[in-house]
Amino acid sequence: MNSTKRRGQLIVLSGPSGTGKSTVIAELLQARPDLYFSVSFTTRPPRPGETDGKEYHFVSRETFEDMISKGAFLEYAQYVENYYGTSLQLIEEKRAAGIDVLLEIEVQGAEEVRKKCPDAVLIFVAPPSFEELSRRLRERNTDDEAVIASRLETARKECEEISNYDYLVVNYQVPIAVKEVLSILTASGCRTQYRLIDWKGV
- Tell me how far apart the alpha carbons of residues 166 and 187 are, in angstroms, rounded to a whole number: 12
167 binds a second copy (CB under 8 A): yes
User: What is the spatial distance between Cα 109 and Cα 13, in angstroms, rounded to a whole number?
Assistant: 10
Burial class (CB in 10 A: 0-12, 13-18, 19+), 37: middle
Choose which of 166, 174, 175, 178 interacts with a second copy (CB under 8 A): 166
Contact between 128 and a second copy (CB under 8 A)?
yes
User: Considering the complex, what minimum distance in angstroms separates the CB of residue 45 from a second copy?
Assistant: 27
Q: How far is the CB of 156 from a second copy (least distance, A)?
A: 6
Query: Site residues for a second copy, window 174-193 (CB under 8 A)?
Result: 179-180, 182-188, 190-193
Site for a second copy in 48-87 (CB under 8 A): none
In the complex, the residues that contact a second copy under the rule CB under 8 A are: 1, 16, 123-124, 126-130, 133, 155-156, 159, 162-163, 165-170, 179-180, 182-188, 190-193, 195-196, 198-202
